[in-house]
Chain A
């Protein structure tokens, strides 16, 4: 099966081609079949390939398949090659699996939308790009996928392009991502300048074997520079400070898009890239510290904003930013496997939360405001039950998926000697539990606050939507079991063991082995914090619903600050956007373009017209005058010839 790995990305590409080119004329059933069939087939082949990988000895789990030489120019060679190792295997299963489930869900969710074929063509194109990104064996091909997913993200955020806000959100995502990409490209250039190669295998081999050239850097060296530049790219794609601003606005896209691209897969590409480059990052402590700091600060920052938002999808968007921060914090403290573990479990429960939110919105006929929901539990019981599972999972309640992955991150932070990261992570975990259950209670419990029009429309979603919810709920429950921590499993963590070959070239500093008892204690603390968060949410939003408003008025300044998202958008508008727009309009357009460039062009034209005005009198239409001129000219030429002789 591993030899068919090239088919995995090509299937969605074929689906995108069929739906994109012919979709307008195809019936919806065929479009759905093509889109879901290709992604489902890709998922099956991916399972087969990963099974093959598992059949090999752990140190042979590094399979590189080269298909052809893409670019060859002097020293520089870039091949179209796919790398399957434990890291890409995990990503492969998450992307194709969650992708397939969300495709199924979209059949139900999008059934009444215009441009049904366009949606599925973009979704399939996204899957193709994402698979190129994660399977690529070198930085350049990875960059192709990286840009491809960015494009699809832009197209899908702006899916409702008749709406101005959707178009603006798409542009915002595109531009902010380009800022990050500049860093990524510079990082790739620096890698090529340093290693004379862009292949993962060759670059990491040089780093690992030529220790005199690439020692573990104590200050700022070449590896630190590369790491920081790559991380700039990651902050753009994975919505970290200071480039996170596009993700909340990206919620303008259809909900399945938010689930697939802006929660489960694309936004985790930055985490994947940092972990893929673990040999570089692990030898650059300063870069690693920056990753950890940005990650954990983003986690806290986004969680605080999420506490007060009233748009159901925006709460989830800030939650995503926050959880991505966790993943970076994990990578930053050197626990790369824990980051990927959280990436996987997060893909399950966050996709589920988004799809559940989509189901709620669908049931209410487009209502997204939490303050106009309430009491939905009895109307859409399946959605409620599955979302409740996901909320417990993301809060880190034992024994759901989120508990194991989040606990591994917090424990690694402590064990690797970063108590501040641990503490901030713990506080964030409490907030996560609070805002998730605030969302749950506001949407599903308490008074029914929706309009009569919405009540009339109220219905549980069709099976094509509830089946994916149930499937993801099961994964959210059992997903953590692949990585049972050492203190439970009477052996080492199986997920970490599986990941080891991918991280073998990373530099691993010595850590003091801490006792399992201590780890168990820390796990207890994080569960306790989560329960406190849920309890507070229960107290405020279920027990005494009036108290929420009272609390908001009592902490007016802070509440406003959070509600307005720390005024970051306003700040960016004032510092970057408005000067750019004004500068472009006043200087570039009205100054340089209209005055200098247009002035030059018009000036040349006017000069020619003026000089022509002097001479055009010669062409007066009188044949006799032309004859006279010819005669005079001939005489002049003859005269000249005689004189010059």
Chain B
């Protein structure tokens, strides 16, 4: 299989994630979409790593996974606090931080 297929798949996954982030209202959904975007990037890293016969890309994937795990921890904590304090999971209702 050519690398192009991997990249197209990666781009599609990324766009699905990005569109989900923009259009979804539920915090959990947005969260899942962000994970989708990160994993789309991971896919292209692995593809390039294999294509160029270098290990760098795979190393980067580990970094991204670590960051994603940390982000998940913080993000879920925020989600729980949001639910407790404002009784909602919709980001459109959490809009008091503005001018």
Any A CB within 8 A of the CB of B74: no
Most chain B beta carbons < 10 A, residue from A617, A622, A627, A628: A627
Any B CB within 8 A of the CB of A620: yes
Any B CB within 8 A of the CB of A608: no
Any B CB within 8 A of the CB of A213: no
Partner of A624, one of B21, B98, B99: B21
Nearest B-chain residue to A618, judged by Cβ: B99
Interface of A, secondary structure class, is: helix
Whole-angstrom CA separation of A624 from B21 in the bound complex: 7
Is A623 within 8 A of B94, CB to CB?
yes
Interchain nearest-CB distance for A632 vs B (Å)? 10
Is A616 within 8 A of B22, CB to CB?
no
Whole-angstrom CA separation of A619 from B24 in the bound complex: 19
Nearest B-chain residue to A620, judged by Cβ: B98
Q: What's the tally of chain B residues with a CB closer than 8 Å to chain A?
A: 15
Contacts of B94 in A (CB 8 A): 621, 623
Is A628 within 8 A of B22, CB to CB?
yes
Whole-angstrom CA separation of A616 from B99 in the bound complex: 7
Whole-angstrom CA separation of A617 from B98 in the bound complex: 9
Contacts of A619 in B (CB 8 A): 98-99
Any A CB within 8 A of the CB of B96: yes
Any A CB within 8 A of the CB of B23: yes
Is A622 within 8 A of B91, CB to CB?
yes
Nearest B-chain residue to A612, judged by Cβ: B99
Whole-angstrom CA separation of A616 from B92 in the bound complex: 18
Is B96 within 8 A of A621, CB to CB?
yes
Residues of B1-46 whose CB lies within 8 A of A: 18, 21-25, 30
Partner of B22, one of A620, A621, A627: A627
Nearest A-chain residue to B20, judged by Cβ: A627
Interchain nearest-CB distance for A290 vs B (Å)? 72
Partner of B92, one of A617, A624, A628, A631: A624
Most chain A beta carbons < 10 A, residue from B21, B22, B91: B22
Nearest A-chain residue to B94, judged by Cβ: A623
Interchain nearest-CB distance for B30 vs A (Å)? 8
Contacts of B25 in A (CB 8 A): 624
Total A-B residue contacts, Cβ distance less than 8 Å: 33
Contacts of A616 in B (CB 8 A): 99
Interchain nearest-CB distance for B88 vs A (Å)? 13
Whole-angstrom CA separation of A631 from B94 in the bound complex: 21
Q: What's the tally of chain A residues with a CB closer than 8 Å to chain B?
A: 11
Interchain nearest-CB distance for B8 vs A (Å)? 17
Contacts of B97 in A (CB 8 A): 621
Contacts of B96 in A (CB 8 A): 621
Contacts of B18 in A (CB 8 A): 631
Contacts of A631 in B (CB 8 A): 18, 21-22
Is A621 within 8 A of B95, CB to CB?
yes
Interchain nearest-CB distance for B26 vs A (Å)? 11
Contacts of B95 in A (CB 8 A): 620-623
Q: 1/0 per position for B60-77, CB-CB distance to A under 8 A?
A: 000000000000000000
Contacts of A617 in B (CB 8 A): 99
Contacts of A628 in B (CB 8 A): 22
Contacts of A624 in B (CB 8 A): 21-25, 30, 91-92
Nearest A-chain residue to B98, judged by Cβ: A621
Nearest A-chain residue to B27, judged by Cβ: A623
Contacts of A621 in B (CB 8 A): 94-98
Whole-angstrom CA separation of A623 from B21 in the bound complex: 9
Whole-angstrom CA separation of A631 from B34 in the bound complex: 13
Whole-angstrom CA separation of A561 from B6 in the bound complex: 111
Whole-angstrom CA separation of A616 from B21 in the bound complex: 23
Contacts of B24 in A (CB 8 A): 624
Interchain nearest-CB distance for A399 vs B (Å)? 93
Contacts of B23 in A (CB 8 A): 624
Most chain B beta carbons < 10 A, residue from A616, A617, A623, A631: A623
Most chain A beta carbons < 10 A, residue from B23, B97, B99: B99
Whole-angstrom CA separation of A627 from B22 in the bound complex: 6
Whole-angstrom CA separation of A631 from B14 in the bound complex: 11
Give 22 pairs: A residue, B residue, CB < 8 Å, sorted on A.
A617-B99, A619-B99, A620-B95, A620-B98, A621-B94, A621-B95, A621-B98, A622-B91, A622-B95, A623-B30, A623-B91, A623-B95, A624-B21, A624-B23, A624-B24, A624-B25, A624-B30, A624-B91, A627-B21, A627-B22, A628-B22, A631-B21
- Kindly list the 10 A-B residue pairs having the minimum CB-CB distance in the complex, ordered from nearest: A621-B98, A621-B95, A616-B99, A623-B91, A628-B22, A627-B21, A619-B99, A627-B22, A619-B98, A621-B97
Given A616-B99, A619-B98, 19 other A-B contacts at CB below 8 A? A617-B99, A619-B99, A620-B95, A621-B94, A621-B95, A621-B96, A621-B97, A621-B98, A622-B91, A622-B95, A623-B30, A623-B91, A623-B95, A624-B22, A624-B25, A624-B92, A627-B22, A628-B22, A631-B21
